[in-house]
């Protein structure tokens, strides 16, 4: 029995910090943003609400329960990554002198760009009718998402999302701080995409220099209308593949007439979800 209890103890030693990190970053980001929305609601955020529809209490409860489950799956993935690093499968280093700060910054930018591509294409895959019911239905039960929907995934979707980091690490050595910054960026952009309120400047709609950054309206439209806007951080892939919502930029500018057209789209989508 001793070896088994030793193995369990060492597994717990690796897993428990990951559990705190993954569940913790979800709770901090989602609760933090929910609090910001509440505090600044009357100060102007109410005017930036994207949809007329509101999430119900049971929607929020489902979003939290399924997101916490994803947090646990991510933490098991994190434990596997630590184990892999301890056994030389992945290179995660902590010495700043090893590759320099320039490499650290570059590797963080590269992992974010690669993750956006991974997200876009796996997201398109999960929308295939054969895969959708098993991989992605839970996420789309939130037609008007809240920040708590950030990790509201079916179990297969959670594993597919988790797989990105170990795949990346097979090829690219990362500083521990770089990985932490990537994780932090990922969850912050994720909860922002589900805020239900436009948090980005409306000028992004027409900005030549920054129009490639996804505003909250981008992912909100994905939830509301289902068939467009598959990207996570950037608009590149949607524009390249012709999947950007035709009214995204109009909606981001905040023009009520276009909002009404999207609402009609969205109502049709809700009817489809309910059936
Ligand atoms: Zn989707
Ligand atoms: Zn979403």
pLDDT tens digits for range 100-140: 999 999 999 999 999 999 999 999 999 999 999 999 999 99
Which is higher by pLDDT, 258 or 44?
44
Tell me which ligand sits closest to the C-alpha of residue 232.
2
Please report the pLDDT score of residue 130 as a whole number.
97
Give the separation between CA 94 and CA 262, rounded to whole angstroms.
Answer: 48
Please give the distance, rounded to the nearest whole angstrom, from the Cα atom of residue 114 to the centre of ligand 1. 19
Which is higher by pLDDT, 160 or 260?
160
Please give the distance, rounded to the nearest whole angstrom, from the Cα atom of residue 130 to the centre of ligand 2. 20
Please give the distance, rounded to the nearest whole angstrom, from the Cα atom of residue 24 to the centre of ligand 2. 19
Give the separation between CA 203 and CA 253, rounded to whole angstroms.
Answer: 7
Please give the distance, rounded to the nearest whole angstrom, from the Cα atom of residue 32 to the centre of ligand 1. 24
Percent of the chain residues past pLDDT 90, beyond the cut: 82
Query: What is each CA distance from 248 to 116, 141, 229, 245, in whole angstroms?
Result: 19, 21, 9, 5
Tell me which ligand sits closest to the C-alpha of residue 125.
1
Cβ-count burial 52-65 (b if 16+ within 10 Å, e if not): eeebeeebbebbbe
Residue 1 has pLDDT above 50, yes or no: yes
Please give the distance, rounded to the nearest whole angstrom, from the Cα atom of residue 88 to the centre of ligand 2. 35
Answer whether 176's CB lies under 8 Å from 88's CB.
no
Tell me which ligand sits closest to the C-alpha of residue 144.
2
Q: Name the pLDDT band for 254 (thresholds 50, 70, 90).
A: confident
- Looking up tokens 């059936």 gives 275
Q: Is the pTM of this model over 0.85?
A: yes
Look at residues 165, 157, 162 and name the one whose alpha carbon lies nearest to residue 76. 162
Please report the pLDDT score of residue 275 as a whole number.
40
Tell me which ligand sits closest to the C-alpha of residue 220.
2
Please report the pLDDT score of residue 271 as a whole number.
52
């Amino acid at each position: 029995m001793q070896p088994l209890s030793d193995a369990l103890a060492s597994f717990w030693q690796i897993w428990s910090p990951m559990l705190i990190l993954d569940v913790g970053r979800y709770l901090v980001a989602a609760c933090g943003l929910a609090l910001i929305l509440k505090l600044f609601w009357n100060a102007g955020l109410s005017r930036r609400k994207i949809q007329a529809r509101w999430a119900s209490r049971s929607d929020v409860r489902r979003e939290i329960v399924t997101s916490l489950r994803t947090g646990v799956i991510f933490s098991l993935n994190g434990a596997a990554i630590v184990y892999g690093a301890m056994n030389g499968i992945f290179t995660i280093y902590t010495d700043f002198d090893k590759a320099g700060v320039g490499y650290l910054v570059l590797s963080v930018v590269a992992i974010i760009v690669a993750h956006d591509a991974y997200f876009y294409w796996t997201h398109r895959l999960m929308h295939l009718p054969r895969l959708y019911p098993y991989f992605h239905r839970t996420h789309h039960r939130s037609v008007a998402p809240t920040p708590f929907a950030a990790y509201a995934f079916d179990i297969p979707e959670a594993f597919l999302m988790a797989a990105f980091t170990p795949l990346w690490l097979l090829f690219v050595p990362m500083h521990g701080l770089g990985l932490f910054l990537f994780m932090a960026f990922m969850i912050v952009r994720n909860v922002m995409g589900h805020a239900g309120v436009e948090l980005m400047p409306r000028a992004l709609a027409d900005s030549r220099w920054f129009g490639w950054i996804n505003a909250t309206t981008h992912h909100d439209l994905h939830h509301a209308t289902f068939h467009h806007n598959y990207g996570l951080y950037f608009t590149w892939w949607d524009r390249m593949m012709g999947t950007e919502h035709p009214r995204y930029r109009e909606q981001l500018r905040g023009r009520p007439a276009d909002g009404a057209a999207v609402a009609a789209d969205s109502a049709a989508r809700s009817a489809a979800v309910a059936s």
